[in-house]
Structure formats: C-alpha cells, structure tokens
Amino acid sequence: MKKLKYTVTDPKGMHARPAGILAAAAKEYDSEITVSNGTDEVDMKKILPLMGLAVSKGDDLIVTLDGPDEDAAADAVAKALKENF
Amino acid sequence: MEVFEGKSSFKGVAIGKIAEMKKAETVVRRTHVDDVDAEIARYHKAKEQAQAEIGELHDKAMKEVGEAQAEIFEVHAMFLDDFDDSVENIIREQNVNAEYAVATTGDNTAAMLAAMDDNPYMQARQTDVKDVADRVIRDMSEGGGEANTFTENVILVADDLAPSETVQLDKDKVLAFVTRQGSTNSHTAILARTMSIPALCQTPVTKDVDGKMGIVDGMEGKLIVDPDEATLEKYTKAAEAEAEKKRLLKELKGKETVTKSGRKIKLYANIGGIGDLNFVLENDAAGVGLFRSEFLYLQSNDYPTEEEQFKAYRTVAEMMAGKEVVVRTLDIGADKQVDYFKLDKEDNPALGFRAIRICLTREEVFKTQLRALYRASAYGNIDIMFPMITSVWEVEKAKAICEEVKDELTAQHIPFKDVPIGIMIETPAAVMIADELAELVDFFSIGTNDLTQYTLAIDRQNQHLERFFNAHHPAVLREIQMTIEAGHRHNTWVGICGELGADPELTEQFVKWGIDELSMSPSSILPVRQIIRNMD
C-alpha cells in the first residue's frame, strides 16, 4: 500500500473536466485508488464522487493506492494532480 | 405590457417573437421486473447508444462553438460511465425497470450536487447530470423528443436548457435566451456570451408568453412582454445603435492597424489576469502590451511558487499563440499592498519602497519570477518589462540577474528563449536619461498614469487638486515626444501603456510623433484602430 499527499493550488478547486482527467488517469491502473479530503474518502476512478468532495484551493488530499501496479499508478496520479489541481 | 426581471449574463438588446421551448416530457414509472439480467442488458444497450449520441454532440459543438464549449460533452460521457454501479445495483436489489434505476441514479447525483451550497459551479452541474439521465431514458423508450425548429428569429424561453438542447438548436434563429431556472454559471449563459447574445436566467416568466412580442434588455436584466409603442420604439433605437456598433467592429476585426499612408501601429491589450484573455482575443488585439503580474501575488496568501507562476505565464503565452506578450515584473508597494511581503508603513508610498526597488532588494523573490518567465518563454513570445526605473544601474543590475537565471536554466537543460527586455518610462528621471537607458533595452513602454503624477506632483486621488490637474499637460506630452525620439535614436521601440494610450484625442498626435505601439484595455482597441485607419 502507498500513500501520497497533495495540496490543491488551483484557485478554482475541482472542476468537472480536471476531475474527469484525474478519474481517467486512475482508471488506467488495476490498483484500488481512493482519495480523501480528511472527512470523506472516495473512489478516485469515478468522476461524480470526486466532484462531490468539493475540493478547493489549499485543501490537503491523501491518495491511497493498493495493488500490483501501485508504484506506477502513484506516479501517474501525482502527475495528473500536479497538472490539473 | 408585462415586465419580468432576471439575472443577465450578457449585455445587449434583443427584440422579437417569444417562443417557448418544447420539451419531451419523460415520465418514468416504476415497474417490477423478474429477469434482472435482461434489464441490465437493456440498460447497457441504451447506454451505448447514449454514449454515441454524446460523441456526436461533442463533434457538433466542436465545429459550431469551439473546444471550450464542447468539453462539457466529454464530462457527460464520464458522468454516464459512473452510472453503471448504481443503476445495476438498483435493478438487482429492487427488481425494478432500468428507466426507474437510471432516473433514481440521476436524481441522487443531482441532489448531491445541489447540496454543495457554497459551490455554485457544482450546483450548476445538476443540469448536466439530469441531461445525461434523460438521454439514457429516452434511448430506452420509443420515439424522440419534439424538434424545436423556428421559422423566424425568436427569443427562446425555457424552464432550463440542457447543454445538449442548446447545441441542437438552430442558433442563427435565436435572438436571446430566457430561462426560469439556471444560473450565470450555467452552460446556456456561457454559450450566450460566446454567441454575444443577451441571456437572462432565474426569470419568473409566466407560461403564457409563447408567440407574443418581447424585448430582452440585457443591461437591466428584464424581459418585457407585449411592449407598448413608446417602449418598443426606445428599444428599437437602442438595438439599431448596437447593431451599427457591432457591424463597425466586425468590419474592423481582423484588419490591420495601419494609416492610409501605410504606417503600421501595434495595438496591444493591457490585462490583469488570465481571465482577461478572452476579451483580448475577442477585441482582436495584436498582442499583450502590459500583463500585470501582480495578480499572482495579490490573490495569494504567500509568495507564489515558481511552478504556479510558470503555469500562469505559460497559459498566457500559449493562448496568445505566438503573439507578443509583455509581462511587467512585480509592481507592488504604493497602492498595491500584499501582507506577506511585510512592508513597513510609509508616509509617502508613491515615492517609496515599491516595484523594481523591492525586486533589487529581495533578489530571491525577483529570481523566482524571472525563472518562471524564462521557462514560460519557450512556449510563446514573451517580453520582460521592469517597472519604476529611475537609474541606469537598476537596469544593468536587473539584466545581470536575468543573465544569472539564464545560466542556471542552461546548466539544468531547461529550454528558454532569449527574451526581449524593456522598461517602463514612468518617472521624469527616466525621460531625462532615456538615451542612456535606450542603449540597454529593446523597448520602452510609457506609463502615463505615474508619469503624470510624478511630473505634475499631483496625487490624482486628491479631489482638491482637480483644477490643477491636466491630463493633457504640455509637460507630459513633451516627455512622451522626448521618449519616442530618444528610443528611436537607439533602435528601441516605444509604446504607451497608460491611460493616455487609449485617449482618442491624442491618438493622431502619438502616431505623428512615431509611436510604435499603443496598449490599452481590450474594449478600446477597435475604436482606436478606426481612428488610425482614417489617418493619412
């Protein structure tokens, strides 16, 4: 199991399309990937729950990855977060 | 005559017949099913068809209204993908029909978005989720919705418009949108702004307006139904004047800014953030003559990182697609204060610790910005400009720091371009030594607001000084002429980015003196272009 932390820097927070890009990136991997904002934890492969997290600038997100390809998935997710949030 | 008030998302006037949007009502009944696997298969078949339709809408939107508008359909496709678990679960657990399962899933998701009180953007996405659910339900039943075709131009009234509905409309025939629900964040509002037609939302229009005469006033946010003659006449005049203005601007758009004798002037835009770029492109600026980088610092609670700045500069460079973008380095102090800089209170901030003086004192802050700018230079056509210059050494020092940054980037194999360097001419000192300064830089940009204040020793905010203030004071105009001449003696191009740059009374004078560039707020660009095109 792997965990990574990311602080949202995009002033717009989580909009639909970047949430979709993030979900699409997570879907590429077999590992279970969840993301938490401290209160709720949701499946990162689904856009609607992701949007439901109502992430805004300054929020700390914890991503938990568990599975055979968790290392590669962690890199891809970190990249998608950095580019979109 | 009846008047309904709503929220306006685009200023403008539209006059025409009102048409109520016809909607296919989808009534979903809950029925019992025994063969849940067959029901789930039926859902998947409809979903596949719905995905194909969404793909077509995406392509249609791409062609008609552009990529930004088409993106919403990519989001729709992803929403639909997420429906599977919930829909299958409901069918299996409750032995119900697929229509009911899809409708329930759509409602639940919409409710989740509706509950996000402090996030109007997410709340507005309810319409999108419902649009997706309705589409799948429609695809499971026979027959489609009633087509909305119009034989004449109409003001379209609807409860709310789903993105797929707006994209299917014959947009040439729509004069304005009026919705009873919706928000200024909704897709319809965004589309209306793209189409430059008036749109009102949250307008409590009664249901009996179909076929009546109407006026949409986007300035005041009103829909007037059955207007009396005087009102109609007033708005007809306003609409004609507006159409004339639009026609004129359309005629000037895409045209060169050139005098009759063939002298070309660069007409650029002043911007204060990425959000302004739409207006820049809309008004056909040839470049950005002043990008105030302060916004990055003012909207932040701490020093913006190199990465954050790089992202912003890169976006601007890419969106301007190779057109010149002049970025002014940090210009805070005086009237623009940022807490985390922890600057001392000053008795005389206009003459105090500000702009380049801060940058040359806190080199690490300056270097972060320069690194971000040089990195972004690889993605477009960026120029760097230093504000508040009074001495030659300041320019020499700033340029030396640029060289250090370039050496670092070269050592790290990070790509960058050899960016043109310019300075603001906004102090009388800079005017007096313009010849020496011109030898050091590629361009000058005259900041007439500060130059006027420093030359006349007048604070423009002080209302007692109004009678002593003269925006066209001969001293300031002479300084502008001197700066242009000095620049040209050393092959340095000269522009104006202060308020005088957009002053129609002075445009001809500046062009005669040989100004190379004028930078102004986007809305002034086309009117100034017209003045220049009429000059000999």
Nearest to A48 among B79, B119, B308 (CB): B79
Q: Closest residue of A to B105, CA-based?
A: A48
Is the pLDDT at B97 greater than 60? The verdict is yes
The A residues from 49 to 78 touching B (CB cutoff 8 Å) are 49, 51-52, 54, 56
Q: Residue B147: is its pLDDT beyond 60? A: no
Whether B159 has its CB under 8 Å from any CB of chain A: the answer is no
What does the alpha-carbon distance between residue B374 and residue B15 come to, in Å, rounded to a whole number? 51
Q: Which of residues 14-33 of A touch B (CB under 8 A)?
A: 15-17, 20, 23-24
Whole-number pLDDT of residue B241: 81
Retrieve residue B440's tokens: 């050091």
Q: Could A16 and B72 be called an inter-chain contact, meaning their C-beta atoms sit closer than 8 Å? A: yes
Q: Mind telling me the catalytic residues of B? A: 187, 497
Between B75, B118, B119, which is nearest A20 by CB? B75
Residue of B nearest to A83 (CA): B311
Confidence of residue B396 (pLDDT cuts 50, 70, 90): very high
> Of B23-27, B143-147, B421-425, where does the model show the most confidence?
B421-425
Report yes or no: B354 and B331 within 8 Å, Cβ to Cβ: yes
Is residue B204 classed as helix, strand or coil in its secondary structure?
coil
CA distance B424 to B497: 9
d(CA B373, CA B359): 15
Q: For this structure, is A15 an active site residue?
A: yes
Contact state of A52 with B112 under an 8 Å Cβ cutoff: yes
Of A3, A7, A12, A15, the active-site residue reads A15
Do A54 and B116 make contact, defined as CB atoms within 8 angstroms?
yes
Residues of B in contact with A46 (CB under 8 A): 82
Q: What is the mean pLDDT of residues A33-43?
A: 87
pLDDT band for B296, please (50, 70, 90 cuts): confident
B142 or B89, greater pLDDT: B89
Q: Which helix (H) or strand (E) holds B210?
A: none
- What was the ipTM of the complex prediction? 0.80
Over range B301-322, report the average pLDDT: 92
Write down the pTM of the prediction. 0.55
Question: For the residues of A15-71, what is the DSSP string, one character each?
Answer: -HHHHHHHHHHHHTSSSEEEEE-SS-EEETT-HHHHHHT---TT-EEEEEEESTTHH
More confident residue, B164 or A26: A26
For B468-488, how does the pLDDT look when each residue is reduced to its tens digit (9 = 90+)?
Answer: 888 899 999 999 999 999 999
Radius of gyration of chain A (CA): 11
